[in-house]
Amino acid sequence: MSPHTLIRPTRGNAFRQRGTTLIEALVAVVVLSIGLLGMAGLQANALKLNQTSMQRSQATILAYSILDQMRSDTAAAKAGDYDGEPAEGSALAAWRDEVTRSLGASAEGEVCRIAAPADTDCTDTSSDVFRISVQWTETGIENADGTTSLAGGTQTLIVVGRL
């Protein structure tokens, strides 16, 4: 028996095995479509999560920027120019405007003096320890049924620094 006789197709098989069927092509298209839809969903979630990350980074940058301003103008910071209600045109008023512009209309920035880094009470007016808080509303990822899959709501970043 020669090797050629083993691999030669029979006449019945040669006519039945020609190309792909329409059903096979449709199944391949459905599988590909499901994969592409999944990738589109992952991309949409990544964009929303990137927005959340950007807001948190912006809040951190803003908090440290006012602390750096206070450290560069220590005399004004110790005199009370940076805590309490800001005067029109002051550095604190400009910083609060920047917080609102960067993080949305509901965002707020606050600078106050505290007695020690672990304190939360802003009543000490003679201390050189300052608490800077930035608060903003973070939007969660809204699903098609109206539920939110990530915790949105109000976020607060607190930075404590000594002059």
Query: Is it the case that residue 36 has pLDDT exceeding 90?
Result: yes
CA triple 65-67-69, angle to 5 deg: 70
| Predicted local distance difference test score (pLDDT) of residue 40 | 93
Q: Two tokens at 152?
A: 């949105």
Could you read off the pLDDT of 70-115 as tens digits, one per residue? 999 999 988 888 887 888 888 999 999 999 999 988 899 999 998 8
The secondary structure of 54-74 as a DSSP string is: HHHHHHHHHHHHHHHHHHHTH
Binned at pLDDT 50, 70 and 90, residue 9 comes out as low
| Predicted local distance difference test score (pLDDT) of residue 117 | 80
Query: Is it the case that residue 142 has pLDDT exceeding 80?
Result: no
CA–CA gap between residue 87 and residue 82 (Å, rounded)? 9
The secondary structure of 70-94 as a DSSP string is: HHHTHHHHHHTSSSSSPPTTSHHHH
